[in-house]
Amino acid sequence: MRSECKLPESHMRLETRASKRSRTARTTHLLASAALAAALALSVAGCKTTDDDITGSLGASASSTPRTDADWRRALEVWGTRYRANPGDAVAAMAYAQALRATDQRAQAVAVLEQATMRNSHNMALLGAFGRALADVGQYPRALDALGRAHTPENPDWRILNAQGAVLDQMGRHDEAQRHYAAALKIVPNEPSVLSNLGLSYLLMKDLKRAEATLRRAAGEPGASPKVRQNLALAVGLEGRFAEAEKIASADLPEAEAAANVDYLRQMLEQQKDWKRSGKPFAFKPDAGT
C-alpha cells in the first residue's frame, strides 16, 4: 500500500486537543514509519494510509483505504459490524483489524485476527495480517511463526519476507533480517520499502555509511513513499550533516508539515545522541507493514 500520510497528513490548522493528538500521530508516521523510535513511545500504527504493505488484498468489497481519522472511525463501524456478524469472515476481520491498528487499538486487532485465523487456519493473507499485528504489540516470536505460515518456500511473498526481516531486526537478529530483505529483493529488485528496511537494519548495526547509501537508493526509486525520504534524512542527520538532513526532511511538503517534520527529526536526533553517549544501541523499528 502506498501514500503520503504514512504517518498521515494535514493537521496543523485543527485546534481541538483531539486534532492535535491526531496531528502528532500523522507527523510521527510520516517521518519514520519504518524507523519509529521505540523510546519515544509513539504509535507505529498512527493513522495508516495506503503507504503500508498489506499481504494479500482485502478484496473489492474493502474498496479504498481510509485516509483520515474520520474515515478510519467509519471503517471501524462498518467493518466491526460485519465482523461481529460473522467472526469467520476473513475479509471483514482484516479490514476491521487494520482500522483498529490505525486508531491505536492494537491489542484488540490482535484478538480479532487471532479469532479469525482459528476459523481460517490456511488463509495466508490472514496469517500475514496476524503476524504484522503481533509484531505491532511486540510479540515477535509469535509474529515470526504466523508470518512463516503466511507463504511457502516454493511460492515466497516478498511482502512477508520484508515483514519477517523487520521482526528479526527488532529481535536483534540483523544478519538474518538482511538475508530476508535480500530474498525479497530477488523477487522485486529495487523495491523501495524493502530497501528502506534494509537501510534501517544497517542503522541498527551503526553502519551509517552503508545505511545512507541504501536509503539513497531507496529514495531514488520510482514510487518511493515520503517515509523513505524521511528515513534517509534520519541517516544523514546521524552522520552529523544536519542542514542537509533538514532539507531532505522538508522537501516537497507544505510549509506546516515541513516544519513539523523538521522538528520531529531534531527530536529523534537528540534522542540518538543520548543513546550514543550512553552506549546503547539505536532504537529504530523497521516497518513490518499493516
pLDDT at 280: 54
Residue 262 makes CB contacts below 8 A (sequence gap 6+) with: 246, 249, 250
Is the pLDDT assigned to residue 31 strictly greater than 80?
Answer: no
Helix, strand, coil tally for the chain in percent (to 5): 65, 0, 35
Q: pTM of whole model > 0.85?
A: no
Whether the Cβ atoms of residue 42 and residue 28 lie closer than 8 Å to each other: yes
Confidence of residue 287 (pLDDT cuts 50, 70, 90): confident
Confidence of residue 212 (pLDDT cuts 50, 70, 90): very high
Gap between the Cα atoms of 203 and 205, Å rounded:
5
Tens of pLDDT, residues 179-204 = 999 999 999 999 999 999 999 999 99
pLDDT at 276: 57
From residue 187, give the alpha-carbon distance in Å to each of 167, 181, 194, 205, 211.
19, 10, 11, 25, 21
Q: What would the 3-class secondary structure string for 200-212 be?
A: HHHHHCCCHHHHH
The cell for 279 is: 552506549
Gap between the Cα atoms of 130 and 142, Å rounded:
9
Confidence of residue 40 (pLDDT cuts 50, 70, 90): very low
Gap between the Cα atoms of 94 and 290, Å rounded:
10
Tens of pLDDT, residues 66-112 = 678 899 999 999 999 999 999 999 999 999 999 999 999 999 999 99
Tens of pLDDT, residues 236-278 = 988 889 889 888 888 877 888 788 878 878 887 777 666 556 5
Domains of the chain, each with CATH number or no CATH: 17-278 (1.25.40.10)
Return the SS3 of 79.
Answer: helix
